[in-house]
Structure 1
């Protein structure tokens, strides 16, 4: 909500995240990616409203899954969003449940700004110790917790302001891993890092996936997404417009949605051709397909919002040859 006006920051976001994989949610800044992350963790502002479901399944390390949809509804992948087993609807959970059983324990957050996430007046060791005690009941183990995120033990007694950007990111990642949460949510974890630190951070997160964790990585860094992801979800103006296997998306045949194709073509190592125009304001979306005003393929059919069908929300998606 903004004043008396309601703004749909995220609409019809439907995807399923399987255990032991990384899904990269990509798109330009302001498209709704971080709003989605905040909704999953119950961290939206008080005047925000959510609808639908975000089912969190499992509960053991390596056995967590995240899926959207309506209760009891068949999904395109054949799953059912029912209330069986130990599934939890994150969007319906109260603050007590989220604080005591979800955050840190079932979902670990790797934040966008580790400097803001870390307590500035306490050492990394003391923050790890407190988190270990809270989530696991242990009163030691800081060195082992730091090692999981490749944080050097000889920096544990430093304060956050004494760390480089890369080390601060590793400290925040170490805190996210303390509870051995099966699902990790990384919200723009490489912002402000140079390319070498981006690659190192991404590789460390990928190592967690390879150890059995599940990762939802929200990023506008396509190189980082290509390096880490098993699948890619592309968001534009609050909607997911393409879901694809990462290898096919970044390689052959490439993206099928014109916007997703434009994102890759804008990269310096590719065509270096910018997408014309600007993304719309979420509070002033055009009728029909939100990308139509910028799209070279726009036609009369684009006056209607295209559904996400076979992994792409477009009335005229690109074929393997177009």
Structure 2
């Protein structure tokens, strides 16, 4: 709720994520990605309403009470790399003390081994050991991000939720950070990465979910999304074509306000393929929610036709 208005921040978000997989959730700012993450952790404002279900190890995260979420979910079943690490870290305690406390709480390691385990967690996230005795306000944005990542990795949670984990990092550290997040998944853990960084998503994701105006408009394998045939939703294709290494062509217009969404396709006002059909809301059929999805390249179509001839 915003005042007396009901704002549908996320609607009809359907996806699954298996152990050993990384799903990258991408889209412009304000499309609902971080709201979805907050819903999974039970961290929405008190006036927010949720419906549906989100199951993890037999627990419905959307209906679980606060005590259950605090004691058995956050840190234990879901590790969080937050979007704003400065707000996530305790300002009056050193990074070392926060890591050691988390090690004791989540692993049960004996006191004499806590210090070593905390330093190992820092090293996993590329956080320099000689900065461990600093306070959060003494860290750069990139170092704060790595400290928060180190905290999230400690519990080896079945699901790691990384909300913009590469914010403030240079390209070398982006690659090191996302590689470590990918290694975390192993065979029995999963990674949900919310990001604007399509290069980081391409590096580690198995699947891509594209969100626009509170809805997932395309689900695709990373190989199909970044290779051939490429994204099928015009918005998803526009995101990819806006990259400097691609066409470097921005998507025209601005996203709609979530409190003033049209009845039909929310992307239609910005879409060159829109017709009167787009006045109706498209469903996520065959992985793309669009009345006029981008067709496969002609060369691929001709090859398929030749195969069936």
Could you say if the C-alpha distance between residues 122 and 213 of structure 1 is closer, same or farther in structure 2, counting changes exceeding 3 Å? same
Which of 145, 153, 156 aligns to 1:169? It is: 145
1:209 to 174, 185, 189: 185
Conservation of the 8 A alpha-carbon contact between 2:90 and 2:136 = yes
- Separation in 2 of the partners of 1:212 and 1:149? 20
Give the SS at the match of 1:115. helix
Which string of whole-angstrom CA distances, capped at 9 and with x for unpartnered residues, describes residues 211-233 of structure 1?
A: 64310000112112111211000
Q: Is the helix fraction higher in 1 or 2?
A: 2
193-202 vs 217-226, which moves further: 193-202
- RMSD value, Cα: 1.5
Indicate the structure (1 or 2) with the bigger Cα radius of gyration.
2
Q: Note if contact 1:112-1:190 (Cα within 8 Å) is conserved in structure 2.
A: no
- Paired residue for 2:135? 159
Structure 1 residue aligned with 2:280, among 301, 304, 313? 304
What stretches of structure 1 move > 4 A for 4+ residues in a row? Answer: none
TM-score scaled by structure 2? 0.91
Q: Which residue of 1 aligns with 2:305?
A: none
Q: Match for residue 301 of structure 2?
A: none
Q: How does 1:191-206 map to 2 (within 5 A)?
A: 191-206=167-182
Offset at 1:260? Answer: 0.3
- Provide the residue aligned with 1:133 in structure 2: 104
- 2:83 matches 1:112: yes
Q: Deviations over 1:136-164 (max 9, x none)?
A: 23331322332332333333222223333
SS of equivalent to 2:191: strand
User: What CA distance in whole angstroms lies between the structure 2 residues aligned with 1:150 and 1:261?
Assistant: 33
1:242-257 matched pairs, under 5 angstroms = 242-257=218-233
Q: CA deviation at 1:190?
A: 1.5
Q: Are 1:96 and 2:67 an aligned pair?
A: yes
The reply to whether residue 53 of structure 1 matches residue 24 of structure 2 is: no
Deviations 1:274-321 (A, max 9, x none): 111110000001121111111111112211111101111011212212
| d(CA) in 2 for partners of 1:168, 1:17 | 28
The C-alpha deviation readout for 1:177-207, integer Å capped at 9, x for no partner, is 2222110000111223333332232222122
What SS does the aligned partner of 2:25 have? strand
Structure 2: give runs of 5+ residues left out of the alignment. 299-309
Check whether the contact 2:231–2:237 (CA below 8 A) recurs between aligned residues. Answer: yes
Q: Work out the CA distance in 2 between the residues paired with 1:125 and 1:158.
A: 8
Tell me if the contact between 1:166 and 1:201 (Cα under 8 Å) persists in the aligned partners.
no
User: SS state of the match for residue 228, structure 2?
Assistant: coil
Give the structure 1 partner of residue 250 of structure 2: 274
Question: What is the aligned partner in structure 2 of residue 63 from structure 1?
Answer: none
Alignment of 1:38 with 2:14, yes or no, is: no
2:161 to 178, 185, 203: 185
> Is the Cα–Cα contact under 8 Å of residues 153 and 184 in structure 2 kept in the other structure?
no
Q: CA 1:241 to 1:315, structure 2 compared with 1: closer, same or farther past 3 Å? A: same
The 1:252–1:22 alpha-carbon spacing in structure 2 relative to 1, beyond 3 Å, is: same
1:293 aligned to 2:254? no
